[in-house]
Structure 1
Protein backbone atom coordinates (compact mmCIF):
# COMPACT_ATOMS: atom_id res chain seq x y z
CA UNK A 1 0.00 0.00 0.00
CA UNK A 2 1.35 3.43 -0.89
CA UNK A 3 0.78 6.81 0.71
CA UNK A 4 -2.24 8.83 -0.35
CA UNK A 5 -2.15 12.34 -1.77
CA UNK A 6 -2.83 13.84 1.66
CA UNK A 7 -0.16 15.53 3.77
CA UNK A 8 3.08 13.60 4.18
CA UNK A 9 6.00 14.15 6.55
CA UNK A 10 9.75 13.99 6.80
CA UNK A 11 10.85 11.97 9.84
CA UNK A 12 14.15 12.23 11.71
CA UNK A 13 15.77 10.16 14.45
CA UNK A 14 18.04 12.30 16.62
CA UNK A 15 20.51 10.52 18.89
CA UNK A 16 21.29 12.27 22.15
CA UNK A 17 22.61 9.54 24.44
CA UNK A 18 24.36 6.19 24.78
CA UNK A 19 24.62 3.38 27.30
CA UNK A 20 26.96 0.37 27.13
CA UNK A 21 25.40 -2.87 28.33
CA UNK A 22 25.22 -6.61 27.62
CA UNK A 23 22.55 -8.49 25.72
CA UNK A 24 21.57 -10.40 28.87
CA UNK A 25 19.90 -7.28 30.28
CA UNK A 26 17.97 -6.51 27.09
CA UNK A 27 15.74 -9.59 27.13
CA UNK A 28 13.34 -10.96 29.69
CA UNK A 29 14.99 -14.15 30.92
CA UNK A 30 18.45 -13.05 29.81
CA UNK A 31 20.46 -14.09 26.77
CA UNK A 32 22.77 -17.08 26.52
CA UNK A 33 25.21 -15.22 24.27
CA UNK A 34 25.66 -12.29 26.68
CA UNK A 35 27.44 -10.12 24.12
CA UNK A 36 27.79 -6.31 24.05
CA UNK A 37 24.43 -4.80 23.06
CA UNK A 38 24.40 -1.05 23.80
CA UNK A 39 21.41 1.26 23.75
CA UNK A 40 21.16 4.54 21.89
CA UNK A 41 18.78 7.24 23.10
CA UNK A 42 16.67 9.12 20.57
CA UNK A 43 14.07 11.77 20.15
CA UNK A 44 12.25 12.08 16.83
CA UNK A 45 11.08 14.98 14.70
CA UNK A 46 8.13 14.76 12.32
CA UNK A 47 8.21 17.68 9.89
CA UNK A 48 5.35 18.51 7.55
CA UNK A 49 4.56 21.43 5.27
CA UNK A 50 2.33 23.05 7.89
CA UNK A 51 3.23 21.51 11.29
CA UNK A 52 6.21 20.10 13.10
CA UNK A 53 5.93 17.53 15.88
CA UNK A 54 8.62 16.47 18.33
CA UNK A 55 8.20 12.93 19.63
CA UNK A 56 9.61 12.55 23.15
CA UNK A 57 11.91 14.97 24.90
CA UNK A 58 14.80 12.84 26.20
CA UNK A 59 16.84 13.53 29.32
CA UNK A 60 19.31 16.29 30.12
CA UNK A 61 22.99 15.69 30.88
CA UNK A 62 22.55 15.91 34.65
CA UNK A 63 19.77 13.32 34.71
CA UNK A 64 21.70 11.06 32.37
CA UNK A 65 24.81 11.20 34.54
CA UNK A 66 22.79 10.43 37.65
CA UNK A 67 21.47 7.29 35.97
CA UNK A 68 24.76 6.25 34.39
CA UNK A 69 23.85 7.29 30.84
CA UNK A 70 26.14 9.32 28.59
CA UNK A 71 24.77 12.36 26.78
CA UNK A 72 26.37 12.42 23.35
CA UNK A 73 24.80 15.71 22.22
CA UNK A 74 21.99 17.67 23.91
CA UNK A 75 18.52 17.26 22.43
CA UNK A 76 18.27 20.95 21.58
CA UNK A 77 21.49 20.76 19.57
CA UNK A 78 20.16 17.90 17.50
CA UNK A 79 16.92 19.72 16.79
CA UNK A 80 18.80 22.87 15.82
CA UNK A 81 20.89 20.82 13.38
CA UNK A 82 17.74 20.17 11.31
CA UNK A 83 16.38 23.69 11.70
CA UNK A 84 14.01 23.25 14.64
CA UNK A 85 13.96 25.81 17.45
CA UNK A 86 12.57 24.10 20.58
CA UNK A 87 11.12 27.41 21.77
CA UNK A 88 8.86 27.53 18.72
CA UNK A 89 7.64 23.91 18.81
CA UNK A 90 3.86 23.78 19.31
CA UNK A 91 3.27 20.01 19.60
CA UNK A 92 5.18 17.39 21.57
CA UNK A 93 4.04 13.78 21.62
CA UNK A 94 5.20 11.89 24.72
CA UNK A 95 5.12 8.16 24.05
CA UNK A 96 5.41 7.39 27.76
CA UNK A 97 6.58 9.11 30.91
CA UNK A 98 9.89 7.37 31.64
CA UNK A 99 12.79 9.70 32.42
CA UNK A 100 14.49 9.22 29.04
CA UNK A 101 11.35 10.18 27.13
CA UNK A 102 9.79 12.94 29.23
CA UNK A 103 12.70 15.01 30.56
CA UNK A 104 14.18 18.37 29.50
CA UNK A 105 11.19 19.91 31.22
CA UNK A 106 11.80 23.54 30.21
CA UNK A 107 12.85 22.95 26.62
CA UNK A 108 9.48 23.44 24.90
CA UNK A 109 7.79 26.40 26.63
CA UNK A 110 5.03 26.88 24.01
CA UNK A 111 4.22 23.27 23.29
CA UNK A 112 1.02 21.33 23.79
CA UNK A 113 1.85 17.83 25.06
CA UNK A 114 0.03 14.75 23.76
CA UNK A 115 -0.25 11.92 26.32
CA UNK A 116 -2.43 8.87 26.79
CA UNK A 117 -5.03 8.96 29.59
CA UNK A 118 -3.78 5.62 30.88
CA UNK A 119 -0.17 6.77 31.05
CA UNK A 120 -1.02 9.66 33.35
CA UNK A 121 -3.22 7.41 35.48
CA UNK A 122 -0.38 4.90 35.65
CA UNK A 123 2.43 7.29 36.60
CA UNK A 124 0.34 9.07 39.25
CA UNK A 125 -1.48 6.01 40.64
CA UNK A 126 -0.92 3.14 43.01
CA UNK A 127 1.61 1.37 40.76
CA UNK A 128 4.07 4.10 41.68
CA UNK A 129 4.10 2.75 45.25
CA UNK A 130 6.35 -0.04 43.95
CA UNK A 131 10.03 0.74 43.43
CA UNK A 132 10.31 -1.79 40.60
CA UNK A 133 7.73 0.15 38.60
CA UNK A 134 8.53 3.71 39.64
CA UNK A 135 12.30 3.51 39.12
CA UNK A 136 12.24 4.53 35.41
CA UNK A 137 10.15 7.62 36.18
CA UNK A 138 11.46 10.97 37.41
CA UNK A 139 9.02 12.49 39.87
CA UNK A 140 9.76 16.01 38.62
CA UNK A 141 8.90 15.00 35.05
CA UNK A 142 5.58 13.64 36.27
CA UNK A 143 4.89 16.72 38.39
CA UNK A 144 5.67 18.96 35.41
CA UNK A 145 3.12 17.14 33.29
CA UNK A 146 0.53 17.60 36.02
CA UNK A 147 1.32 21.34 36.08
CA UNK A 148 0.97 21.52 32.30
CA UNK A 149 -2.41 19.84 32.62
CA UNK A 150 -3.59 22.58 34.96
CA UNK A 151 -2.13 25.16 32.58
CA UNK A 152 -4.19 23.77 29.69
CA UNK A 153 -1.13 22.50 27.82
CA UNK A 154 -1.90 18.77 27.69
CA UNK A 155 -4.11 17.01 25.17
CA UNK A 156 -5.12 13.56 26.34
CA UNK A 157 -5.76 10.62 24.06
CA UNK A 158 -7.72 7.44 24.71
CA UNK A 159 -6.31 4.58 22.67
CA UNK A 160 -6.20 5.32 18.95
CA UNK A 161 -6.38 8.99 18.08
CA UNK A 162 -5.80 11.01 14.92
CA UNK A 163 -3.91 14.20 15.74
CA UNK A 164 -3.89 15.60 12.22
CA UNK A 165 -3.92 14.39 8.63
CA UNK A 166 -1.26 11.74 8.25
CA UNK A 167 -0.35 11.45 11.93
CA UNK A 168 -1.97 9.40 14.68
CA UNK A 169 -1.14 7.83 18.04
CA UNK A 170 -2.01 4.30 19.15
CA UNK A 171 -1.85 2.89 22.67
CA UNK A 172 -0.08 -0.46 22.81
CA UNK A 173 0.91 -0.58 26.51
CA UNK A 174 3.33 -3.30 27.58
CA UNK A 175 6.43 -1.39 28.63
CA UNK A 176 4.16 1.01 30.54
CA UNK A 177 0.39 0.89 30.84
CA UNK A 178 -0.19 3.87 28.57
CA UNK A 179 2.67 3.67 26.09
CA UNK A 180 1.64 5.01 22.71
CA UNK A 181 3.30 4.70 19.30
CA UNK A 182 3.17 7.24 16.49
CA UNK A 183 2.00 6.38 12.98
CA UNK A 184 3.22 8.80 10.32
CA UNK A 185 2.44 9.00 6.63
CA UNK A 186 5.53 9.60 4.53
CA UNK A 187 6.05 9.79 0.79
CA UNK A 188 7.06 6.11 0.95
CA UNK A 189 4.06 4.97 3.02
CA UNK A 190 3.07 4.51 6.64
CA UNK A 191 5.94 4.53 9.15
CA UNK A 192 5.68 3.73 12.87
CA UNK A 193 7.82 5.30 15.58
CA UNK A 194 7.62 2.42 18.05
CA UNK A 195 9.54 4.10 20.87
CA UNK A 196 9.80 1.58 23.71
CA UNK A 197 7.07 -0.69 22.41
CA UNK A 198 10.28 -2.33 21.12
CA UNK A 199 13.61 -1.10 22.41
CA UNK A 200 15.62 -3.04 19.83
CA UNK A 201 14.98 -4.65 16.46
CA UNK A 202 15.65 -8.02 18.13
CA UNK A 203 12.87 -7.57 20.69
CA UNK A 204 10.12 -7.40 18.07
CA UNK A 205 11.76 -9.53 15.37
CA UNK A 206 12.33 -12.43 17.78
CA UNK A 207 9.32 -11.77 20.09
CA UNK A 208 11.66 -11.53 23.07
CA UNK A 209 10.36 -8.94 25.55
CA UNK A 210 12.51 -6.23 27.07
CA UNK A 211 12.75 -6.82 30.85
CA UNK A 212 11.43 -3.41 31.94
CA UNK A 213 7.76 -4.24 31.47
CA UNK A 214 4.38 -3.57 33.05
CA UNK A 215 2.41 -6.20 31.09
CA UNK A 216 4.26 -8.93 29.20
CA UNK A 217 1.18 -9.97 27.22
CA UNK A 218 0.59 -6.43 25.99
CA UNK A 219 4.24 -6.12 25.04
CA UNK A 220 4.17 -9.31 22.96
CA UNK A 221 0.88 -8.37 21.28
CA UNK A 222 2.33 -4.92 20.71
CA UNK A 223 5.05 -6.30 18.44
CA UNK A 224 2.38 -7.70 16.13
CA UNK A 225 0.47 -4.44 16.31
CA UNK A 226 3.51 -2.43 15.26
CA UNK A 227 3.88 -4.40 12.05
CA UNK A 228 0.19 -4.10 11.28
CA UNK A 229 0.35 -0.30 11.47
CA UNK A 230 3.30 0.07 9.07
CA UNK A 231 3.31 -0.47 5.31
CA UNK A 232 6.58 -2.39 5.55
CA UNK A 233 8.32 -4.09 8.52
CA UNK A 234 11.40 -2.01 7.73
CA UNK A 235 9.42 1.12 8.61
CA UNK A 236 8.88 0.15 12.25
CA UNK A 237 11.49 2.15 14.15
CA UNK A 238 12.55 0.80 17.58
CA UNK A 239 13.26 3.16 20.43
CA UNK A 240 16.87 2.44 21.36
CA UNK A 241 18.63 0.44 18.67
CA UNK A 242 21.97 1.87 17.45
CA UNK A 243 21.32 0.12 14.13
CA UNK A 244 18.72 2.77 13.26
CA UNK A 245 21.62 5.06 12.38
CA UNK A 246 23.16 2.30 10.26
CA UNK A 247 20.02 1.23 8.42
CA UNK A 248 18.87 4.72 7.50
CA UNK A 249 20.85 7.49 5.79
CA UNK A 250 22.11 10.50 7.66
CA UNK A 251 20.08 13.68 7.30
CA UNK A 252 23.25 15.19 5.82
CA UNK A 253 26.91 14.24 5.60
CA UNK A 254 27.72 16.34 8.65
CA UNK A 255 25.06 14.56 10.72
CA UNK A 256 26.19 10.99 10.06
CA UNK A 257 26.01 8.93 13.25
CA UNK A 258 23.83 11.56 14.90
CA UNK A 259 20.67 12.37 12.90
CA UNK A 260 19.06 9.91 10.47
CA UNK A 261 16.37 10.54 7.86
CA UNK A 262 13.76 7.79 8.23
CA UNK A 263 11.21 8.54 5.52
CA UNK A 264 13.21 7.45 2.47
CA UNK A 265 15.07 4.37 1.28
CA UNK A 266 17.34 2.54 3.69
CA UNK A 267 21.10 2.44 3.19
Structure 2
Protein backbone atom coordinates (compact mmCIF):
# COMPACT_ATOMS: atom_id res chain seq x y z
CA UNK A 1 0.00 0.00 0.00
CA UNK A 2 1.37 3.41 -0.91
CA UNK A 3 1.73 6.26 1.57
CA UNK A 4 -0.94 8.22 -0.28
CA UNK A 5 -3.41 5.38 0.16
CA UNK A 6 -2.76 5.33 3.91
CA UNK A 7 -3.73 8.97 4.36
CA UNK A 8 -6.80 8.70 2.16
CA UNK A 9 -5.41 10.32 -1.00
CA UNK A 10 -5.95 8.43 -4.24
CA UNK A 11 -2.71 7.29 -5.85
CA UNK A 12 -3.84 5.22 -8.81
CA UNK A 13 -2.30 2.12 -7.22
CA UNK A 14 -4.95 -0.09 -5.65
CA UNK A 15 -5.22 -2.52 -2.78
CA UNK A 16 -7.05 -5.65 -3.94
CA UNK A 17 -8.59 -8.31 -1.71
CA UNK A 18 -10.29 -11.57 -2.65
CA UNK A 19 -13.18 -12.39 -0.31
CA UNK A 20 -14.27 -16.03 -0.27
CA UNK A 21 -17.88 -16.49 0.81
CA UNK A 22 -18.68 -20.03 -0.38
CA UNK A 23 -17.25 -23.22 -1.84
CA UNK A 24 -18.53 -26.36 -3.52
CA UNK A 25 -16.65 -29.64 -3.49
CA UNK A 26 -19.16 -32.04 -5.06
CA UNK A 27 -17.97 -31.33 -8.59
CA UNK A 28 -15.82 -33.01 -11.25
CA UNK A 29 -13.54 -31.72 -13.98
CA UNK A 30 -16.40 -32.24 -16.44
CA UNK A 31 -18.13 -29.34 -14.65
CA UNK A 32 -15.12 -27.09 -15.28
CA UNK A 33 -13.71 -27.97 -18.70
CA UNK A 34 -15.01 -28.94 -22.13
CA UNK A 35 -13.31 -31.92 -23.80
CA UNK A 36 -11.35 -32.98 -20.71
CA UNK A 37 -9.81 -36.46 -20.69
CA UNK A 38 -9.91 -36.69 -16.90
CA UNK A 39 -13.56 -35.68 -16.66
CA UNK A 40 -14.50 -37.85 -13.63
CA UNK A 41 -11.81 -36.44 -11.31
CA UNK A 42 -12.97 -34.22 -8.42
CA UNK A 43 -12.68 -30.49 -9.03
CA UNK A 44 -13.64 -28.05 -6.27
CA UNK A 45 -14.89 -24.50 -6.77
CA UNK A 46 -14.55 -21.43 -4.55
CA UNK A 47 -16.79 -18.36 -4.73
CA UNK A 48 -15.35 -14.86 -4.39
CA UNK A 49 -16.07 -11.16 -4.31
CA UNK A 50 -13.25 -8.62 -4.56
CA UNK A 51 -12.67 -5.37 -2.69
CA UNK A 52 -10.66 -2.53 -4.24
CA UNK A 53 -9.34 0.40 -2.24
CA UNK A 54 -7.34 3.47 -3.25
CA UNK A 55 -7.25 6.12 -0.56
CA UNK A 56 -10.84 6.83 0.49
CA UNK A 57 -12.37 5.23 -2.60
CA UNK A 58 -13.71 1.72 -2.04
CA UNK A 59 -15.22 -0.37 -4.83
CA UNK A 60 -16.73 -3.83 -4.48
CA UNK A 61 -16.47 -6.14 -7.47
CA UNK A 62 -19.51 -8.43 -7.51
CA UNK A 63 -21.74 -9.22 -4.56
CA UNK A 64 -21.99 -12.98 -4.17
CA UNK A 65 -25.40 -14.41 -3.29
CA UNK A 66 -27.44 -14.53 -0.10
CA UNK A 67 -28.85 -17.33 2.06
CA UNK A 68 -32.23 -17.27 0.27
CA UNK A 69 -30.56 -17.91 -3.08
CA UNK A 70 -28.32 -20.54 -1.48
CA UNK A 71 -31.39 -22.42 -0.26
CA UNK A 72 -33.20 -22.07 -3.58
CA UNK A 73 -30.28 -23.53 -5.53
CA UNK A 74 -29.14 -26.01 -2.88
CA UNK A 75 -25.70 -24.36 -2.77
CA UNK A 76 -24.99 -23.22 0.80
CA UNK A 77 -22.77 -20.24 1.51
CA UNK A 78 -20.26 -20.02 4.35
CA UNK A 79 -20.64 -16.26 4.89
CA UNK A 80 -23.29 -13.70 4.12
CA UNK A 81 -21.61 -11.36 1.59
CA UNK A 82 -22.41 -8.30 3.69
CA UNK A 83 -21.01 -9.86 6.86
CA UNK A 84 -17.90 -10.93 4.95
CA UNK A 85 -16.87 -7.25 4.78
CA UNK A 86 -16.73 -6.85 8.57
CA UNK A 87 -12.94 -7.36 8.87
CA UNK A 88 -12.49 -4.26 6.69
CA UNK A 89 -14.58 -2.24 9.14
CA UNK A 90 -17.25 -1.86 6.46
CA UNK A 91 -20.99 -2.38 6.53
CA UNK A 92 -23.02 -3.11 3.39
CA UNK A 93 -24.56 0.37 3.61
CA UNK A 94 -21.12 1.95 3.30
CA UNK A 95 -20.49 0.41 -0.12
CA UNK A 96 -21.29 3.11 -2.67
CA UNK A 97 -19.86 1.52 -5.84
CA UNK A 98 -20.19 -2.01 -7.20
CA UNK A 99 -18.71 -3.29 -10.45
CA UNK A 100 -21.00 -6.05 -11.71
CA UNK A 101 -18.92 -8.34 -13.88
CA UNK A 102 -22.09 -10.09 -15.05
CA UNK A 103 -25.57 -10.86 -13.77
CA UNK A 104 -25.28 -14.57 -12.97
CA UNK A 105 -26.71 -15.45 -9.56
CA UNK A 106 -23.33 -15.99 -7.86
CA UNK A 107 -22.01 -12.58 -8.91
CA UNK A 108 -25.12 -10.39 -8.71
CA UNK A 109 -27.15 -12.35 -6.17
CA UNK A 110 -26.28 -9.96 -3.35
CA UNK A 111 -27.11 -6.67 -5.05
CA UNK A 112 -30.00 -6.03 -2.68
CA UNK A 113 -27.61 -6.33 0.28
CA UNK A 114 -25.83 -3.14 -0.83
CA UNK A 115 -28.68 -0.63 -1.11
CA UNK A 116 -26.54 2.49 -1.51
CA UNK A 117 -24.29 1.17 -4.25
CA UNK A 118 -24.08 2.69 -7.71
CA UNK A 119 -23.57 -0.12 -10.24
CA UNK A 120 -21.17 -0.33 -13.17
CA UNK A 121 -22.19 -2.84 -15.83
CA UNK A 122 -21.72 -3.56 -19.51
CA UNK A 123 -24.78 -2.53 -21.52
CA UNK A 124 -24.55 -5.84 -23.40
CA UNK A 125 -25.14 -7.74 -20.14
CA UNK A 126 -28.39 -5.96 -19.34
CA UNK A 127 -29.60 -6.45 -22.92
CA UNK A 128 -28.75 -10.15 -22.71
CA UNK A 129 -30.35 -10.75 -19.29
CA UNK A 130 -33.60 -8.97 -20.25
CA UNK A 131 -33.81 -10.01 -23.91
CA UNK A 132 -35.12 -12.91 -26.01
CA UNK A 133 -32.18 -15.19 -25.15
CA UNK A 134 -33.81 -15.64 -21.74
CA UNK A 135 -36.60 -17.61 -23.44
CA UNK A 136 -34.18 -20.55 -23.48
CA UNK A 137 -33.97 -22.48 -20.21
CA UNK A 138 -30.29 -23.36 -20.61
CA UNK A 139 -29.30 -19.70 -21.06
CA UNK A 140 -31.62 -18.46 -18.33
CA UNK A 141 -30.55 -20.96 -15.67
CA UNK A 142 -27.53 -19.04 -14.26
CA UNK A 143 -29.70 -15.92 -13.82
CA UNK A 144 -32.33 -15.20 -11.18
CA UNK A 145 -35.12 -12.81 -12.11
CA UNK A 146 -35.03 -10.96 -8.79
CA UNK A 147 -31.36 -10.10 -9.19
CA UNK A 148 -31.91 -8.78 -12.71
CA UNK A 149 -34.90 -6.78 -11.48
CA UNK A 150 -32.74 -5.27 -8.73
CA UNK A 151 -30.33 -4.05 -11.41
CA UNK A 152 -33.24 -2.58 -13.36
CA UNK A 153 -34.44 -0.82 -10.21
CA UNK A 154 -31.00 0.77 -9.78
CA UNK A 155 -31.18 1.90 -13.38
CA UNK A 156 -34.53 3.61 -12.82
CA UNK A 157 -33.21 5.08 -9.59
CA UNK A 158 -30.30 6.72 -11.39
CA UNK A 159 -27.78 4.39 -9.73
CA UNK A 160 -26.42 2.44 -12.69
CA UNK A 161 -23.80 3.41 -15.26
CA UNK A 162 -23.56 1.42 -18.47
CA UNK A 163 -20.19 0.79 -20.11
CA UNK A 164 -19.62 -0.33 -23.68
CA UNK A 165 -16.47 -2.31 -24.31
CA UNK A 166 -13.35 -0.84 -22.71
CA UNK A 167 -13.87 1.90 -20.14
CA UNK A 168 -11.59 3.82 -17.78
CA UNK A 169 -13.29 3.97 -14.39
CA UNK A 170 -10.49 5.63 -12.39
CA UNK A 171 -6.76 6.16 -12.47
CA UNK A 172 -5.29 2.66 -12.56
CA UNK A 173 -8.68 0.96 -12.97
CA UNK A 174 -10.44 -0.05 -16.19
CA UNK A 175 -13.22 -2.36 -17.38
CA UNK A 176 -13.01 -4.61 -20.44
CA UNK A 177 -15.88 -6.50 -22.06
CA UNK A 178 -14.91 -10.13 -22.70
CA UNK A 179 -18.18 -11.99 -23.25
CA UNK A 180 -18.07 -15.73 -23.84
CA UNK A 181 -19.49 -17.07 -20.58
CA UNK A 182 -22.21 -14.39 -20.58
CA UNK A 183 -22.83 -11.84 -23.31
CA UNK A 184 -21.72 -8.79 -21.35
CA UNK A 185 -19.16 -10.34 -19.00
CA UNK A 186 -16.45 -7.82 -18.12
CA UNK A 187 -13.08 -8.17 -16.42
CA UNK A 188 -11.42 -5.53 -14.23
CA UNK A 189 -7.85 -4.37 -14.81
CA UNK A 190 -6.19 -2.88 -11.74
CA UNK A 191 -2.82 -1.24 -11.20
CA UNK A 192 -1.20 -2.74 -8.10
CA UNK A 193 2.13 -2.84 -6.32
CA UNK A 194 2.77 -6.19 -8.04
CA UNK A 195 1.90 -4.90 -11.53
CA UNK A 196 -1.19 -4.83 -13.69
CA UNK A 197 -3.65 -7.33 -12.23
CA UNK A 198 -6.77 -8.59 -14.00
CA UNK A 199 -9.79 -9.76 -12.02
CA UNK A 200 -11.04 -12.17 -14.65
CA UNK A 201 -14.25 -13.08 -12.88
CA UNK A 202 -15.80 -15.80 -15.07
CA UNK A 203 -13.78 -14.95 -18.16
CA UNK A 204 -11.58 -17.62 -16.55
CA UNK A 205 -13.09 -19.64 -13.74
CA UNK A 206 -9.75 -21.38 -13.14
CA UNK A 207 -6.10 -20.73 -14.00
CA UNK A 208 -6.27 -23.84 -16.13
CA UNK A 209 -9.02 -22.35 -18.29
CA UNK A 210 -6.86 -19.44 -19.37
CA UNK A 211 -3.35 -20.90 -19.22
CA UNK A 212 -4.25 -24.13 -21.04
CA UNK A 213 -6.93 -22.48 -23.23
CA UNK A 214 -9.60 -24.90 -22.00
CA UNK A 215 -13.16 -23.53 -22.23
CA UNK A 216 -15.66 -23.64 -19.38
CA UNK A 217 -18.87 -25.59 -20.18
CA UNK A 218 -21.32 -22.74 -19.50
CA UNK A 219 -20.74 -20.66 -22.60
CA UNK A 220 -22.79 -18.34 -24.79
CA UNK A 221 -20.13 -17.70 -27.43
CA UNK A 222 -17.18 -20.07 -27.58
CA UNK A 223 -15.16 -17.85 -29.91
CA UNK A 224 -15.51 -14.92 -27.51
CA UNK A 225 -14.44 -17.13 -24.63
CA UNK A 226 -11.31 -18.32 -26.43
CA UNK A 227 -10.39 -14.81 -27.58
CA UNK A 228 -11.07 -13.66 -24.02
CA UNK A 229 -8.26 -15.90 -22.74
CA UNK A 230 -5.90 -14.06 -25.09
CA UNK A 231 -7.23 -10.70 -23.92
CA UNK A 232 -6.74 -11.54 -20.25
CA UNK A 233 -3.15 -12.51 -20.94
CA UNK A 234 -2.46 -9.27 -22.78
CA UNK A 235 -3.99 -7.12 -20.01
CA UNK A 236 -2.02 -8.64 -17.10
CA UNK A 237 1.64 -7.91 -16.39
CA UNK A 238 2.27 -11.64 -16.00
CA UNK A 239 0.11 -14.79 -15.99
CA UNK A 240 -0.13 -15.25 -12.22
CA UNK A 241 -1.69 -11.77 -11.96
CA UNK A 242 -4.74 -13.03 -13.81
CA UNK A 243 -7.15 -13.76 -10.97
CA UNK A 244 -9.73 -16.42 -11.93
CA UNK A 245 -13.25 -16.17 -10.61
CA UNK A 246 -13.52 -19.51 -8.81
CA UNK A 247 -10.13 -21.18 -8.42
CA UNK A 248 -9.25 -22.49 -4.91
CA UNK A 249 -5.60 -21.91 -5.85
CA UNK A 250 -6.15 -18.20 -5.18
CA UNK A 251 -6.30 -19.07 -1.48
CA UNK A 252 -3.11 -21.12 -1.81
CA UNK A 253 -0.79 -18.76 -3.65
CA UNK A 254 -1.86 -15.42 -2.13
CA UNK A 255 -1.37 -14.48 1.54
CA UNK A 256 -4.18 -14.38 4.07
CA UNK A 257 -5.09 -10.92 5.32
CA UNK A 258 -7.45 -9.69 8.07
CA UNK A 259 -9.41 -12.97 8.33
CA UNK A 260 -9.28 -16.59 7.10
CA UNK A 261 -11.70 -15.87 4.23
CA UNK A 262 -9.68 -12.93 2.84
CA UNK A 263 -6.61 -12.98 0.61
CA UNK A 264 -4.42 -9.95 -0.20
CA UNK A 265 -3.79 -9.88 -3.95
CA UNK A 266 -2.08 -6.57 -4.70
CA UNK A 267 1.18 -7.58 -3.00
CA UNK A 268 1.52 -10.41 -5.50
CA UNK A 269 1.52 -14.19 -5.12
CA UNK A 270 3.90 -16.28 -3.10
CA UNK A 271 7.15 -17.57 -4.61
CA UNK A 272 6.89 -20.16 -7.41
CA UNK A 273 3.21 -19.42 -7.97
CA UNK A 274 3.26 -20.63 -11.58
CA UNK A 275 4.83 -23.92 -10.57
CA UNK A 276 2.13 -24.40 -7.92
CA UNK A 277 -0.60 -23.58 -10.43
CA UNK A 278 0.78 -25.88 -13.12
CA UNK A 279 1.20 -28.77 -10.71
CA UNK A 280 -2.57 -28.78 -10.13
CA UNK A 281 -3.50 -29.13 -13.82
CA UNK A 282 -5.07 -32.45 -14.67
CA UNK A 283 -5.50 -33.65 -11.10
Mapping of residues 42-121 of structure 1, within 5 Å = 42-121=48-127
1:135 aligns with 2:141: yes
Q: How far 1:30 moved relative to its partner?
A: 4.3
Q: How far 1:6 moved relative to its partner?
A: 4.6
Structure with more helix by fraction = 2
Partners of 1:115 and 1:156 within 8 A in 2:
yes
Mapping of residues 11-26 of structure 1, within 5 Å = 11-20=16-25, 21-26=27-32
Q: Which runs of 5+ in 1 are unaligned?
A: none
Partners of 1:23 and 1:34 within 8 A in 2:
yes
TM-score, L = length of structure 1: 0.94
Aligned to 2:15: 10
More displaced stretch, 64-73 vs 129-138:
64-73
Q: How far 1:111 moved relative to its partner?
A: 1.0
Aligned to 2:194: 188
Aligned to 1:179: 185
Provide, for residues 175-222 of structure 1, a one-character-per-residue CA deviation record: whole Å limited to 9, x for no partner: 001000000111221100000001111111111100000000100110
Structure-1 separation of matches of 2:227 and 2:136:
25
Q: Which runs of 5+ in 2 are unaligned?
A: 1-9, 271-283
Structure-1 separation of matches of 2:196 and 2:148:
31
Residue-pair matches, total: 260
Aligned to 2:262: 259
TM-score, L = length of structure 2: 0.89
Alpha carbons of structure 1 residues 33 and 164: separation in structure 2 relative to 1, 3 Å: same
Alpha carbons of structure 1 residues 113 and 32: separation in structure 2 relative to 1, 3 Å: same
| RMSD across aligned positions (CA) | 1.3
The list of structure 1 runs, each at least 4 consecutive aligned residues, that deviate by more than 4 angstroms after superposition, is none
Partners of 2:12 and 2:170 within 8 A in 1:
no
Q: How far 1:240 moved relative to its partner?
A: 0.4
